[in-house]
């Protein structure tokens, strides 16, 4: 009698990355936030159909919201739901974290952007960061340092 094989689907945990944020900003502090999603959005996330490159986080009435994130609906989305790919999604953060982020944004001139979206157990989480913008010369210095680190690793591994 043959044994039935169970195949587990492993997405690696990561849904979407925002590599541009690391290039354009100095990252000061990171936070983990939950996402308030609809059913069709969760199915699309499982298929890896999310983009957070042009998205940002705003605060209104003591709540955090994700603007500009794209979740492309699957072709098999429900017939009774009209999927909106770029709708505003509420972020689930603790009150103290929201107050800390709002204070830094309002007083110190920081911004808040998403860095990554990933699975943590059955829940979709968003890694957000408190950031300060880089100027052109800062970006060049970062690129030069990254190239040097790569060359140094290549030299030592020979």
What is the length of the chain?
A: 158
Q: What's the confidence (pLDDT) of residue 21?
A: 82
Q: Which CATH number fits domain 14-157: 2.40.280.10, 1.10.10.10, 3.30.420.40, 3.30.565.10?
A: 2.40.280.10
List pLDDT tens digits, range 66-86. Answer: 998 888 888 776 667 777 778
Collapsed DSSP state (helix, strand, coil) of residue 33: strand
- More reliable by pLDDT, 140 or 92: 92
Q: What's the confidence (pLDDT) of residue 2?
A: 55
Contact 108, 82 (CB under 8 A): no
Residue 44 phi, psi (nearest 5): -65, -35
pTM to 2 decimals? Answer: 0.74
List pLDDT tens digits, range 93-111. Answer: 999 999 998 888 888 878 8
Per-domain boundaries in the chain: 14-157
């Amino acid at each position: 009698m043959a044994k039935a094989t169970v195949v587990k689907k492993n997405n690696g945990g990561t849904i979407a990355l925002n590599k541009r944020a690391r290039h354009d900003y100095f990252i000061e502090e990171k936070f983990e936030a939950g996402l308030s999603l609809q059913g069709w959005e969760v199915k699309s996330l499982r298929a890896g159909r999310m983009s957070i490159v042009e998205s940002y986080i705003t605060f209104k009435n003591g709540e955090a919201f994700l603007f500009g994130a794209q979740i492309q609906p699957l072709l098999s989305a429900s017939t009774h739901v009209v999927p909106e790919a770029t709708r505003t999604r509420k972020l689930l953060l603790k009150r103290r974290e929201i107050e800390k982020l709002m204070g830094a944004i309002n007083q110190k001139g920081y911004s808040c952007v998403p860095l990554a979206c990933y699975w943590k157990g059955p829940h979709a989480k968003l890694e957000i960061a408190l950031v300060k913008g880089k100027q052109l010369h800062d970006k060049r210095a970062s690129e030069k340092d990254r190239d040097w680190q790569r060359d140094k690793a290549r030299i030592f591994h020979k």
